Structure 1
Amino acid sequence: MSPLHVLQFFIFSVCIHLFSIFTYLVYYYDLFTSSDEILEEYDFIIVGSGTAGSLIAHRLSKDTNYTFVVLEAGGEGHTFHSIPAFGPLLHGSVFDWQFQTVPQENACLAMVNSQCKQTQGKMLGGSSKMNNMIHFRGNTSHYVDWFHGKFTKEYIEEHLNYIESNVYPLHNIQYHSQISDVVLNAAEEIGYKELNSQNNLGFAKSLLTQRNGKRWTTSDNFDTSKYVLTNVLVDKLIIEEDKCIGVQISYPKRVKLFAKKGVIVSAGAYNSPKLLQLSGIGPVDILNSVNVSVIKELPVGKNLQDHIGTGLDLVLFDTPQSVGMFDIMNLFHVYQYFVNGTGALTTPGCEVVGFVSTDNHTVPDVQFMVLPVGITADRGSHLRKTLGITDFVWDNYFSKLFDKHAATFFTLLLHPKSIGEVKIKSKDPNLPPKIDPKYLSHPNDVKTLVNGVKILIKLVETDAMKAIGGHLNEKHFPGCENYDIFSDLYLECYVKHLTLSSYHPVGTCSMGPRESKSSVVDTSFKVIGIEHLYVVDGSVLPTLPSGNINAAIAMMANIFFENTIKSRLSLNENLFCKNSVLDDLIFKVCPVR
C-alpha cells in the first residue's frame, strides 16, 4: 500500500476499534447489570425479539391484556447502534451470532475454507438492527401460495397496508450519491421502467424503515424494558403429552418458565430449527445422532433457502461518489444526524433496488442492490473480515483497487433451486447449528446469476453511466485467470468464487398443509402435532419472496396475531365475559389448528 493508503487504513482501523470497544462495553454492562423481574408463568412466551417476535409483542401490549415475555439471547444495544451507517460495524461483533456455513463445494471459493459468513442479529431487534432497512412488499401472489389459498391477495395486502401505516415509519432515502439518479436513467436506457405497485420489474430508490433519520425496527414500538428479558438463552422447549407448556432457560442458572396459552418461537431461520431439534422435534436421523429423544418427527431444518449474489467492487468510477468512510466520519454530518436527523449517517448503504427477469417473464428472478461504496472503502480494516475474504484474494484483487473509486452493484438470485439444511451438532444449546445451504449446487442457479451479471454489464455500458465515468473492473478475479474476461465461463467461475449471502435465510420450519411431508407448521403457524407451540419468523416461509424479506415477515407476524391471538380474544369478548378461567377454557377447547 502507498503511504496514503496506510494512513487511511490506520485512521479507519482506529475508529472501527473504538466503536468495537464501545460495543463491548455496552454489551457487558447490559450483561452484568440486568436485573429484570421474572415471573414463573405467563400467558405467552415469545422466543426472539426480531421483526416477528417484536411485532407480536407490540400487538399483545397494545391490543390485549395478556401477560407475556420476550426472551432475547442477545443484549439490548445502545442508541448509537441505531445509526443507519453503523449497521455494518455490528457484523462480526458480540451482537452477531457469527454463524457461517460449512465449506461449500460450488460457492464461496474466495472465502476462508470456502465458508460464507451468515450474519444474524443477536440483540434486541434481531437482524433488523443490521440490515439495509429496505422495505419492499415483493410479489404478493407468492404469499397467497404460502397459505395455500387460506387468505386472498386482497387480505394479505390489507395486512401490508396495516404494517405500513401502523408499524413502520417509511421514508424515501434522503442522503445519496449521484449514482442513484444515474442508475435510474441507465435502467431506462436499457428498457426498464421505474418500479411501482403495478410493475414487478424495474428500478427505484430505496424505501426505508426510518424515523427522523434513525433506523426503526418493530422493537421500537413497545416498552421493551417492561416485556423483554435480554441475554436469556432458551435451552429447550418443555413439552408434555404433545403440548408445549413452557421453556427452559439459562438466566444465569437454569430456570423453567411456563406459558398458559402458547410458546411462540421467533428465533430466525437458524435458531428456530435449532431450538425445535434440541427439544425433540425434527428428523429422526438428526435427533438420534445426538441422542435427543424424539417427540415429533417433522422435517425441521430442511428446505433452507437464501438470497445469494455477487458483484463486490465490480463497477468502478473515475471520481468518488460522495458516500465514503470520510463522509461518515465528517463532524458536520455527525451534527446533521443528531440535530436534524439528516446527513450521511442516515445512509442505508443500498441506494437503489432493481428487479429484472433473465428469461423474459413478468416475475423477477434477479435483484440488484446498488451501493455507492465497495468493500475496499475501509482499506481492509473491517468489511473484508466480516465476509471472510482470503488474504490471497484480497492481496491480488481488492487491494489493487485502492486508487479507484469502487461501487457494488450486488446482483442477487431471487428464487434459488439449491436447497440446504440446518441441524444441531449436539445437545449443547450453546453450540451453533450446522448450516449447509448448498449454494449454487443446482446448475440453474449459476446460469441465472450469470445472466444477471450480464444485465449488470449492459447497465454499466449505458451512456448514462459512462457520463459519470462508470466502467467495469476488468481485472481477472483470482482463480478465474484462464477464462476470457466476462465470458460465460469466466462469469461462472466468478460467481462461484465471489458468492455472498444477503442474510435472507428462510424455509427451515416450512409452512404448509398438515398432511404434507414437507410441512413443519400449518397455515395457522402451529407446529404440527404439538399443541400451544407456534413458529412465526422467516423460517416458516416455504419459498423466498421476490425481494428483501423484512416486509413479508412483518406481514406474516401480523396475520398470526390477528388470526391466532386476537381472534380468540374476540371470541371471549363476544361471550360477554372476560373471566380469565373462561379465557383459558377457550384456548383449551378451541386450540388453533
Structure 2
Amino acid sequence: MVFRTKRIYSVVFVVFVFVYDAAGVAEEEISYYENLINEELEKAEKFELPTNANIHRPLDETIRDFGTFDFVIIGAGSTGSVIASRLSEIAEWRILLLEAGGYPNNFTMIPAMFAIQALTNYNWGFLSTPQKTACLGTIDKRCVIPRGKGMGGTSLINQSIYSRGNPIDYNRWAQLINDPTWKYENVIKYFKKSEDFHKTNPDAPVDWEFHGKNGYLYTNYQIPPSNCTKIFLRANRELGKNITDYNGKRELGATVLQINTKDGKRFDQATAFIGPIKNRNNLIISTGSYAIKIEVVQKRAVSVIFTKNKRMYRAAASREIILSAGAVSSPQILMLSGIGPKKHLKDLNIPVIQDLPVGNRLRDHVFCGIQFSSKFDAKRKNITENIREYLRGYGDLTTGNTIDAAGFYKSSIERISSYPDLEIVVSSSYPNDFGRKYLRWNEETWDILFRNNSSFMPLTLTPVLLHSKSFGNIRLVNKNPYNYPDINVNILSDIEDEDVDTMYEGIQLVLNISKTAIFREIGTKLEVKHLPACAGYEFLSKGFWICFIRQTAFPAFHPVGTCQSGRNPKRGAVVDKDLNVFGLKRLKVADASVLPFTFSGHPNAICTMIGEKISDVIKQQNFKKA
C-alpha cells in the first residue's frame, strides 16, 4: 500500500512483537481490521450523502497567491493521476495537481467494501434529478451517481474491473474526430505501457501480445478463482459462445474478469501512478483543494481559483491547465467559468467566455440485476477468516465480486457485426440494508425484490447495456460553485426504445443461461417477483419485463460525454482531437467526459489510456514550441 495514515504506520512498526498465526499473519493485525471494518459499517449505517460542497466553502473571498506552475491539473482521478505522473517526468516542468479529496486509507483498500466505501466521504454523493424512464423503484425516483472523491477518483470506490472495450469503439472515435491516432491499433501501445499484467489464474485465456508487463497499473485475476465462474463459462459453451480474453483479440464471448488489485488490495490509479513518484520535487500535490473556476484572459486559460483549508487561492499556469475532474465535475467547472451553453449561462448571470455545448450529452451504461437462487455450495466464512485470507492476499475481501465471470454479447439490435452491445456480469451477495441504502431502493420495491427470498445461495445475473442511444444533461442550479449541479441521466429514453429493447434481449439471454444444463444442476431458480407497478402486465411477459426494467434499472456509474470530443462545436463537440477546448488556448479536458459515446468497456481503463496518450501529446506540443 502506498498511502498510509500515521495510525497504520504505528501498527506496522510494532507488529514484530505480536503473535502470528501459522501463516505469518499477526493476530493483532487481524483484530485491527475487524475493528476497522466494524467501525466503518457502523458509520455507514448513519451516513448521509452530502447534498452540496459547502464543506469546501472558504471563510472569506480573499484570493491568495498559490504560485505559478507550468501545468495545473484539476482532479487526481483515473486520468489526472496518469497525466501528473507522466508530465512530472520532465524535470524542468513544475506540476500542480489539485484534488478535492484526500488519500486512500486501509479501508478503501479493501475491494469487497466498495458499496460501503460509497457511503463515506470518498463519494461526492451525487444524485440524479427525478426520473421518468428508469430508477422508478428508488426513493424519489432519483438514481445514485457514485463519483470518487480523493486521490484515485472513482477508482477508489469501484469494483476495480479492468475493461478496455472493443477496437470498433476506438475506430469509431477516430473517425468521428478525424484523427487516426485514436484508432485501436494506435492506442493499444498506451494500454500496454500502463499495464503490469500478471496471470494469477492459470485457466484464464490470455492473448499475451495485447498486455503490458512493465507499467504502473497492476492487473491480475481474482485469487482463488470462483467455481461459479467455471459454471458460467460452461453454460456459455453450451450456448455456443466463445471463451475469450476480453481485453485481447476478441471481446465477444464469456470471460474471466481482470482486476486492478495487488496482493489482495485495491490498486487505484493514484496508488499506481502517483505512489511510486510522489516525492518528485517538481510535482506538488494539493489535497483538500476544491476548484471553482478557471480564469480566462483574452481566450487564454491562465489560472485556477480553488479553496483549501477554508481559504481561497489562485494557481497560475504558464503552459496549460488540464481539467480532469470527471464527467460530472468537469462540465460544472467549465460552466462556472463561463464556458458552456450561452443561454444557460446568461440565465444564471454568468458572463459568457465561450459558447459551447458543455454538459449536453451525458450518457451511461445501464444495468438491471435479475435475481436467482441456487444450491451452489459457496462456503460463507466469518469476518475473522475473511480478514486472515485478505492479509495473505486472497479470498472474498480481495475482490469487488466473489464471482469473477462476465460475458460480452451482440444483440439483434446492434447493426455492426462483432460489436458487443450487452455485457452480463455474475455476482452473489445476500441482501442487506447496506445494499438498499447504496442504491436508495424505496421500501416497497426493496421488500418485494429482496425480503423473504430463498435461503439458497443467491445469484444475480446482470445484463448491462453498453451502447446507449439515450442521453441526458448536466446543468448548473445557479452560479454558486458549492451547489451540486442538476444531473438528468435520462437513461432508457430514446424515442425508438432501442435501449430498453436491448435490455429486454439481455434479460432473455440471462434466462437462457440460467436454463442451461450446468445451471440446472445447481438448482438455479428465478426469484423475480411481481412488482405492484407492473400489475397491469402478465407476469414474465415482455410488457412485465420492460416495466421491471424501468423500475429497477440504474445508470452503471460510467458517465461519459459531457465535454465530448469532435470536429465542430455546432455538432456537439466541446474539445478537439487533442482535447483542447474549442475557441480557447491552454485549456484541455481529459477524462471520461470527452468520450462521444458509451464504449463496450468500463471507462476506468479507457481513462488511464487517455492520460497516457494525452501526456505524449502535451510533451510533443511543448517540445515543438521550444
Instruction: Indicate the TM-score class for this superposition, using the shorter chain for normalisation.
Output: 0.7 to 0.9
User: Are the equivalent residues in 2 in contact too, given 1:43–1:259 (CA < 8 A)?
Assistant: yes
User: Are the equivalent residues in 1 in contact too, given 2:122–2:157 (CA < 8 A)?
Assistant: no
**Is 2:226 the counterpart of 1:177?**
yes
List per-residue Cα deviations over 1:131-175 (Å, max 9, x = no partner). 111112211232133233331432111112212231311101213
2:16 aligned partner: none
**Which of the residues 39, 62, 75 maps onto 1:48?**
75
List per-residue Cα deviations over 1:329-379 (Å, max 9, x = no partner). 5213312222x21222112216212111111742111111111225x1xx2
How far apart, in 2, do the equivalents of 1:452 and 1:494 lie? 13
1:574 aligned partner: none
CA deviation after TM superposition for structure 1 residue 466, in Å: 1.2
1:187 aligned partner: 236
How far apart, in 1, do the equivalents of 2:148 and 2:278 lie? 17
CA deviation after TM superposition for structure 1 residue 319, in Å: 4.7
1:567 aligned partner: 620
User: Are the equivalent residues in 2 in contact too, given 1:373–1:407 (CA < 8 A)?
Assistant: yes
How far apart, in 1, do the equivalents of 2:249 and 2:467 lie? 21
> Gapped runs of 5+ residues in structure 2?
1-34, 49-54, 57-63, 196-211
How far apart, in 2, do the equivalents of 1:369 and 1:227 lie? 40
How far apart, in 1, do the equivalents of 2:512 and 2:429 lie? 20
How far apart, in 2, do the equivalents of 1:459 and 1:46 lie? 46
1:400 aligned partner: 452
**Is 2:395 the counterpart of 1:368?**
no
**Is 2:552 the counterpart of 1:498?**
yes
2:462 aligned partner: 410
CA deviation after TM superposition for structure 1 residue 282, in Å: 0.4
**Which of the residues 384, 392, 414 maps onto 1:331?**
384
**Which of the residues 12, 17, 25 maps onto 2:41?**
17
User: Are the equivalent residues in 2 in contact too, given 1:177–1:372 (CA < 8 A)?
Assistant: no
Distance 1:206 1:274, change over 3 A: same
Identity of aligned residues (%): 28
1:207 aligned partner: 258
List per-residue Cα deviations over 1:253-276 (Å, max 9, x = no partner). 111110111110000000000000
- The runs of at least 4 consecutive aligned structure 1 residues that moved more than 6 Å come to 21-24
How far apart, in 1, do the equivalents of 2:317 and 2:605 lie? 28
List per-residue Cα deviations over 1:484-535 (Å, max 9, x = no partner). 3321111101100001222000000000114653110000010011111000
Distance 1:154 1:295, change over 3 A: same
SS of residue matched to 2:534: coil
SS of residue matched to 2:165: coil
| 1:108-123 map, 5 Å | 108-123=135-150
User: Are the equivalent residues in 2 in contact too, given 1:176–1:347 (CA < 8 A)?
Assistant: no
CA deviation after TM superposition for structure 1 residue 306, in Å: 0.2
User: Are the equivalent residues in 1 in contact too, given 2:243–2:255 (CA < 8 A)?
Assistant: yes
1:149 aligned partner: 179
Distance 1:335 1:474, change over 3 A: closer
List per-residue Cα deviations over 1:450-500 (Å, max 9, x = no partner). 010000000001111111122211422342233233211111011000012
**Is 2:592 the counterpart of 1:541?**
no
> Gapped runs of 5+ residues in structure 1?
1-10, 25-29, 32-36, 572-585, 588-593
Distance 1:14 1:84, change over 3 A: closer
**Which of the residues 533, 536, 548 maps onto 1:479?**
533
CA RMSD of aligned residues (A): 2.4
CA deviation after TM superposition for structure 1 residue 16, in Å: 4.8
SS of residue matched to 1:234: strand
1:352 aligned partner: 405
How far apart, in 1, do the equivalents of 2:41 and 2:278 lie? 29
SS of residue matched to 2:108: helix
| 1:1-16 map, 5 Å | 16=40
**Which of the residues 287, 306, 313 maps onto 2:345?**
287
**Is 2:157 the counterpart of 1:99?**
no
1:272 aligned partner: 330
How far apart, in 1, do the equivalents of 2:333 and 2:366 lie? 25
Paired AA for residue 233 in structure 2: L
Structure with the largest fraction of helix: 1
CA deviation after TM superposition for structure 1 residue 423, in Å: 0.9
SS of residue matched to 2:388: helix
SS of residue matched to 2:81: helix
CA deviation after TM superposition for structure 1 residue 321, in Å: 3.0
SS of residue matched to 2:328: helix
